[in-house]
Copies of this chain bind each other. A is one copy, B any other.
Amino acid sequence: MAHKRGGKKPVFDILYKIPGKLAMKELGKYFKYEDGDIWFVETDRNNMKLEYRAKELISSVKSPFQQIDIVDLYDFGKCLVLDGAIQSTVLDGHIYNEMISHIPIVTHDNPQDVLIIGGGDCGVANEVLKYEEVKKVDFVEIDELVVKECVEHIPEIAGTTSQDNRVNFIFTDGVKFVEDKKNLYDVILVDSSDPVGPAVQLFSREFYQNAKNCLKEDGIMVCQSQSPLFNKDILRNTHKILNELYPIVRTYYAIVPSYPGGIWSFTLASLKNDPLEVDVMKLKTNTKYINEGVFQSCFKLPNMFKYVLE
């Protein structure tokens, strides 16, 4: 499904000439041709319009769940775009992926069995697999095509996940997957997309309760809890639900330049160990963002984000 853009010709003209490839109708919604370039147009925000100049629209496919585009942007490099929203980029995808995975893995005494829900770009799995203690990763993603596209087109993010025999791919709905399981996992990572459409359930009390049941007695769960600037209610609500379910709940943050507002929150819920008290020397050093200093400082929330949780 790859489409290489050449020279300065209008992309619509080119596309029309490639039977079976991208049609103008498909391209029309999130991409346009302007100033001699392809532009990716974000359409999901109310009060901002963002357009990114693209080097190339690498792939564009439709799964039963969503529109999946892989585009190479000048400022952010190759990106996974789902239904018109940027999910991960080569420039900064590793920040999100490192922050959601290394912190719970290092916090757990012996993280052998890991469950990842979502995260079809394979970036989170790729970080988890850096730890030899991890014996098995159940990787539950609803959309198999997202995984295929990312493995093929964005190896910078997907890494070697698809070749690692510790990974057990399960293409199903994560919400259903956790409904009937008990006492199976040391660490659960919920790498959900935004709480719209099918992902809404991944932010519900019922899901969090079921996920807790899947954990062993010293288990740890981490979820992305949205922007502390623009989604305060979701962060507050996630924190509140987890506080009712777990003895230890810690919200931390990272910079994710390609996300709205540039700051993102994660909330860790733990049945035994506190990330503020662990030995950060266990942290892997083959990372691009996280290090011991970042691990310790990401829990030190600025006042404006503390207020959201109060």
A297, B145: Cα distance in complex, Å:
40
Contacts of A95 in B (CB 8 A): 302
Offer 29 A-B interface pairs, CB within 8 angstroms, sorted by A. A47-B53, A47-B73, A47-B74, A47-B75, A48-B50, A48-B51, A48-B52, A50-B51, A255-B255, A255-B262, A255-B263, A257-B261, A257-B262, A257-B263, A261-B262, A262-B263, A288-B302, A288-B303, A289-B302, A289-B303, A290-B303, A293-B300, A294-B300, A294-B302, A294-B303, A296-B297, A296-B300, A297-B297, A297-B300
User: Cβ of A301 < 8 Å from any Cβ of B?
Assistant: yes
How many residues belonging to A are interface residues under a CB distance threshold of 8 Å? 41
Secondary structure call for the A interface: loop
A49 is an interface residue with CB less than 8 A from chain B: yes
Beyond A46-B53, A289-B302, 15 extra complex contacts between A and B, CB < 8 Å: A47-B73, A48-B50, A48-B51, A49-B49, A49-B51, A50-B50, A257-B261, A290-B302, A290-B303, A291-B300, A291-B302, A293-B300, A294-B302, A297-B297, A297-B300
Q: Which residues of B sit under 8 angstroms from A49, Cβ to Cβ?
A: 39, 49-51
A287 within 8 A of B: yes
Q: Tell whether, in the assembled complex, residue B91 and residue A229 are in contact, meaning their CB atoms are under 8 Å apart.
A: yes
* Chain B residues whose C-beta falls within 8 Å of the C-beta of A255 in the assembled complex: 255, 262-263, 302
Q: Which of B91, B263, B293 contacts A297 (CB 8 A)?
A: B293
A293 and B294 CA atoms in complex are apart in Å by: 12
A-side interface residues toward B, CB under 8 Å?
A: 39, 46-53, 73-75, 91-92, 95, 229-230, 255-257, 259, 261-263, 287-291, 293-294, 296-304, 306
- A297's closest neighbor in chain B, by CB? B297
